[in-house]
Amino acid sequence: MSETLGPADREDAADLGRGARSVVLVGLMGAGKTTIGRRLAQLLELPFVDTDQEIEDAARMSVAELFAAYGEPEFRALEARVVARLVEGGRQVIATGGGAYMNEGTRRLLRERSVTVWLKADLDTLMERVAKRPTRPLLRTADPRGTLRDLMDKRYPVYAQADLHIHSRNVKRDVIAREIIQSLARHDRAKAAS
């Protein structure tokens, strides 16, 4: 268990690592799902998987190439199948693509089989992060900031259905991972008490 966790957090992480449900991170591109998810998985001593990477490995194409070749609807259908397969694959930390949680069937499955964590970030934080990766197909527009703002307007009300909400901001990933562990522990205790 990591030295970055205090004794209570280490105990929570150990308990959570033995739990039955996967932890699924949702949120917009740039929210930190992959970076924080990897660290969270280490702390919980669970496998980590990124749905975009799984899709790219299966298709032998990048997400941007899949969007270009088949369009967003076909990509989203593939994404839903990948998420369903992963959730059935045992306890792990899963980082989803930004649009995965928008699918009603995916949300329903995740509610039943996992604990969902929304990594919520403000527009400036998201823009700063996505500017480092110009391969985002949904941001290949004349006004990427406006596009991202529109995505926030459409998706944030849906992301708000997640079990837990964590503010993603420019702090060390250990800080956010620790906040997730603490929230997961509170969530588990509340469920056990009900």
**Domain membership flag for residue 7:** no
Q: Which domain holds residue 36?
A: 27-170
**Domain membership flag for residue 179:** no
Q: What is the pLDDT of residues 146-192, one digit of tens each?
A: 989 999 999 999 999 999 999 999 999 999 999 999 999 999 988 88
8 Å CB contact between 166 and 119: yes
Q: How far apart are CA 21 and CA 42, in angstroms?
A: 16
Percent of the chain with pLDDT over 90: 70
* 30 annotated to bind ligand: yes
**Domain membership flag for residue 187:** no
* 50 annotated to bind ligand: no
- pLDDT confidence band for 1 (50 / 70 / 90): very low
* 155 annotated to bind ligand: yes
* 76 annotated to bind ligand: yes
Measured N-to-C along each axis, helices 72-87 and 63-70 cross at an angle, to the nearest 10 degrees, of 130
**Domain membership flag for residue 20:** no
Question: pTM, whole model, 2 decimals?
Answer: 0.88
* 147 annotated to bind ligand: no
The total number of structural domains that make up the chain: 1
Q: What is the CATH number of the domain that holds 73?
A: 3.40.50.300
For the chain, give the number of residues.
Answer: 194
Q: What is the pLDDT of residues 72-93, one digit of tens each?
A: 899 999 999 999 999 998 999 9
Q: What is the pLDDT of residues 97-108, one digit of tens each?
A: 999 999 999 999
**Domain membership flag for residue 163:** yes
**Domain membership flag for residue 73:** yes
* 33 annotated to bind ligand: yes
Measured N-to-C along each axis, helices 7-17 and 33-44 cross at an angle, to the nearest 10 degrees, of 90
* 111 annotated to bind ligand: no
